Amino acid sequence: MVRIVRAVRACAAAAALAVAVSATGPAAAYEPIVEKKTFTMDSYTTINGETIRELKVGWEAYGTLNQARDNVILIAHFFSGTSHAAGRYSQDGARGYWDSIIGSGKPIDTDKYYVISVDSLVNLNTGSEHVVTTGPASTNPETGEPYGMDFPIVEIGDFVRVQKRLLANLGIDRLHAVMGASMGALQAYDWASRYPDAVDRVIPVIGSGFADPFLIGWLDVWAQPIRLDPNWNGGDYYGGERPKAGLAAALKTVTLHAQSWPWAQQAFGRTWANEDADPAKSFDNSYAVEATLDKVAKDRAATADANHFLYLVKANQLFVAGSKDTPEAGLKAIDAPTLMLQAEGDLVFFPGLADQTQRMIESDGTPVERARIPGDRGHLNGVLNIQSQGDKIRAFLDRKVGE
Amino acid sequence: MVRIVRAVRACAAAAALAVAVSATGPAAAYEPIVEKKTFTMDSYTTINGETIRELKVGWEAYGTLNQARDNVILIAHFFSGTSHAAGRYSQDGARGYWDSIIGSGKPIDTDKYYVISVDSLVNLNTGSEHVVTTGPASTNPETGEPYGMDFPIVEIGDFVRVQKRLLANLGIDRLHAVMGASMGALQAYDWASRYPDAVDRVIPVIGSGFADPFLIGWLDVWAQPIRLDPNWNGGDYYGGERPKAGLAAALKTVTLHAQSWPWAQQAFGRTWANEDADPAKSFDNSYAVEATLDKVAKDRAATADANHFLYLVKANQLFVAGSKDTPEAGLKAIDAPTLMLQAEGDLVFFPGLADQTQRMIESDGTPVERARIPGDRGHLNGVLNIQSQGDKIRAFLDRKVGE
């Protein structure tokens, strides 16, 4: 008895799950090819007081830096993301995840702004040809071997401090705005709290000003399959078999957590993965939603690193804006006008946490605006449906501070 | 630098996480000791057409069966629960999880109703002295060895059919009401759909009339740590080391998923697990929320079985009320007036799914009432705060069908 309830659109759903979002820009707009660059520091001392030698991160930019070097917008990326926020690396390459709002004539207008984006420390995608990062998979110059779990623990604030050094290196000492989604929002809050004199506007999207304990617990749940995979081996796997099954399971959890029930219902219904394989008949038979999530996770795991995942989890758990003692102190330190964008149905960052974040920023009079990104994609609305807030973002960026 | 933000109440939170909820009944009420009994079937054929020999399930009852045998209320239990819905097994034993609403003079009044509850097939808690169940951890009479993953796949409908046989054995052929929380709600819907002539009222709490694909995906995420634990060994572990780490990780996911962010914030804040062990300094150092979840999960795993967990996941994924081809057909088959109770902030069953379930039941004119259980405990509000709906439940049970 075949219990197919709804027509399946599993392929479409799988494509939509992919991080790189294809968006069509104005056909006539000049569109330069994006060049990935590398920033190197001989030595970097973490917030925790440990030293990382030969630190490298990748970065890219869209638009032109003006003479006054005051037209800079920094875009920070999400947990599983990279610096590829807009444009393409080649004529047939995938467009950056926020290409719908960044470009010539778009809300973050590259005819006007110099938009820069940086691969984070311990970036997840060590196997991607375009990502440059430093983390446990990197070679420790002192031993000639990968660091593994000997790599220093880093915080969101360390990502930000490295970005600050990169900008200083480019002669940039202040930001017209800093913006990011999810973990990128955490970096945006951190920038504004850590360097209040260097940030003119903040646009945190689908994030909050500190890691609340429910998120801390979920981050631990995301990570636990990696530690259960015997190939993880305490993080020492670079010479042998990688913990791909554990990493794929971790990425599956993240993928599902970032989605929503309406998405699953529309994309899959209760359709089977294989119409000849009734899930009631065998543990080997699954539903389409399971098979698609498995495939997406396996594909993502192929270019990701398990230890980097654990370091990202730690960095997110530790997050309080500006590395201050309390969320209240961290957010009160923000002086820049803030545009908070939350997503409908977000299961990672809840509206109540945005309320708390807003109150803490406003506690000394800093103005906060808020808007809700609509859609059926849960947390991912913040990436996939950001263009719905285009006018609001454009107006916020255009407004003179103090107006 | 100690970043303790809020006073911790980790011990209180750990206790509140325990499934058995301590509630105080009227001090003067007569309170008999609950006796656990066993129902045995020589042979049971599953919906899938497979035979289970020497099937046993535990059951218990509160109140007195009347002469007409028409005062019966069946209570079905949740995923990690047991038949222990009310009362105590001994003078100092833990009270059943819904003791706040079941008992002498309570909304489900045992002076009036005969309330019966049954351990499900493949019940999780095989190591509990009070649980009687049949599943992969049971001995296969044909081999003299535990079934492991050779145990037949069972559905929610199989749990219900076994309950029906138990009731028939007691001379009971109809239910004044069937009620349950979460997986218990699934059983309540199934009863009303499968046996419309035997059910007079349905009270599904924190559930829906079918497993939607988002839930199917989450159930898979719950299960995946078990399969990653090398001790799981394809389900063949009864002679050796059990997959305790994988099972604890699975139970941790369930526990967190059933909770809410306000609960975590109130119970833990960003407090460290150990005030001398800064989480920023080591991967061995964690937050209080993580340590408590770990402890609760480890304790629960000690008396649970990993294969039973996988069979429960499968049963829940397969769920469509009445094992019908579609949710629409399954829910249209319900004729009994239905009181649906949803929980505020539930992250497992969303309000939109309750809307769909309601519409499908009402499609042929069956009346549905709904109410929302308030509280800061997410899905668990349906267990911990059920007494808030006491008056509504009492009135619904007292009302003559057709009124």
Question: Which tens digit of pLDDT belongs to each residue from A280-306?
Answer: 999 999 999 999 999 999 999 999 999
A274 has pLDDT over 50: yes
pLDDT mean over A55-83:
98
Secondary structure letter of residue B148 according to DSSP: G
Yes or no, beta carbons of A268 and B318 under 8 Å apart: no
Yes or no, beta carbons of A249 and B224 under 8 Å apart: yes
pLDDT of residue B32: 85
C-alpha to C-alpha distance for A66 and A125, rounded to whole angstroms? 32
SS3 B32: coil
pLDDT of residue A16: 43
Proportion of chain A above pLDDT 90, given as a percent: 91
Listed in order, strand segments (DSSP E) in B335-389 are: 338-343, 368-373
Yes or no, beta carbons of B216 and A293 under 8 Å apart: no
pLDDT mean over A352-379:
98
Whether A346 sits among the annotated catalytic residues: the reply is yes
Proportion of chain B above pLDDT 90, given as a percent: 91
Pure H helices in A202-243: 213-228
Question: Which of B6, B221, B272, B347 to probe the A interface (max A CBs under 10 A)?
Answer: B221
pLDDT mean over A9-25:
41
Yes or no, beta carbons of B262 and A149 under 8 Å apart: no
> In chain A, whose CA is at the least distance from the CA of B327?
A5
Yes or no, beta carbons of A270 and B352 under 8 Å apart: no
C-alpha to C-alpha distance for B184 and B204, rounded to whole angstroms? 7
Domain annotation covers residue B2: no
Domain annotation covers residue B288: yes
Proportion of chain A above pLDDT 70, given as a percent: 92
Question: Which of A151, A216, A311 to probe the B interface (max B CBs under 10 A)?
Answer: A216
- Measured in angstroms, the CA of A125 and the nearest CA of chain B are apart by 21
B87 has pLDDT over 80: yes
pLDDT of residue A403: 55
B90 has pLDDT over 60: yes
Going by C-alpha positions, the residue among B312, B319, B324 that lies closest to residue B153 is: B312
pLDDT mean over B374-395:
98
- Give the H/E segment covering residue B294: helix B288-302
pLDDT mean over B223-247:
98
Residues in chain B within 8 Å Cβ distance of A259? 214
Domain annotation covers residue A95: yes
Domain annotation covers residue A5: no
> In chain A, whose CA is at the least distance from the CA of B315?
A280
Domain annotation covers residue A108: yes
**Structural domains of chain B, count:** 1
Going by C-alpha positions, the residue among A215, A209, A147, A158 that lies closest to residue A334 is: A209
A341 has pLDDT over 80: yes
Q: Which residue has the tokens 């869209």?
A: A62
Residue span of the structural domain in which A129 resides:
10-398
Please state whether beta strands A145-146 and B108-109 pair in parallel, antiparallel, or not at all (unpaired).
Answer: unpaired
Secondary structure letter of residue B380 according to DSSP: G
> In chain A, whose CA is at the least distance from the CA of B234?
A283
C-alpha to C-alpha distances, A388 to A12, A158, B117, nearest whole angstrom: 21, 32, 51
Yes or no, beta carbons of A153 and B253 under 8 Å apart: no
Task: Please compute Rg for chain B using Cα positions.
Answer: 21
Yes or no, beta carbons of A290 and B217 under 8 Å apart: yes
Q: Which of A276, A346, A355, A391 is catalytic?
A: A346
Q: Write the ipTM.
A: 0.93
> In chain A, whose CA is at the least distance from the CA of B224?
A249
pLDDT mean over A51-77:
98
Domain annotation covers residue A3: no
Mean of per-residue pLDDT scores for chain B: 93
pLDDT of residue B13: 44
pLDDT of residue B27: 47
- Measured in angstroms, the CA of A8 and the nearest CA of chain B are apart by 12
pLDDT mean over B168-192:
98
Indicate the pLDDT class of residue B12, thresholds 50, 70 and 90: very low
pLDDT mean over B152-181:
98
pLDDT mean over A102-108:
97
Indicate the pLDDT class of residue B30, thresholds 50, 70 and 90: low
Q: Which of B190, B200, B212, B346 is catalytic?
A: B346
pLDDT mean over A228-234:
98
Mean of per-residue pLDDT scores for chain A: 93
B29 has pLDDT over 60: no
Q: Which residue has the tokens 């004539």?
A: A105
- Measured in angstroms, the CA of A317 and the nearest CA of chain B are apart by 9
B4 has pLDDT over 50: no
Q: Which residues contact B168 (CB under 8 A, 6 or more apart)?
A: none
The residue among A315 and B18 whose pLDDT is bigger is A315
pLDDT of residue B401: 79
Q: Which residue has the tokens 């975590």?
A: B264
A344 has pLDDT over 60: yes
pLDDT mean over B390-400:
97
Of A216, A225, A228, the CB nearest to B287: A216
pLDDT of residue A402: 66
Yes or no, beta carbons of B246 and A228 under 8 Å apart: yes
Domain annotation covers residue A143: yes
Indicate the pLDDT class of residue B156, thresholds 50, 70 and 90: very high
What CATH number did the domain enclosing A298 receive?
3.40.50.1820
Residues in chain A within 8 Å Cβ distance of B122? none
B303 has pLDDT over 70: yes
Indicate the pLDDT class of residue A336, thresholds 50, 70 and 90: very high
Domain annotation covers residue A403: no
pLDDT of residue B31: 76
Phi, psi (degrees; rounded to nearest 5) at A370: -135, 150
A11 has pLDDT over 50: no
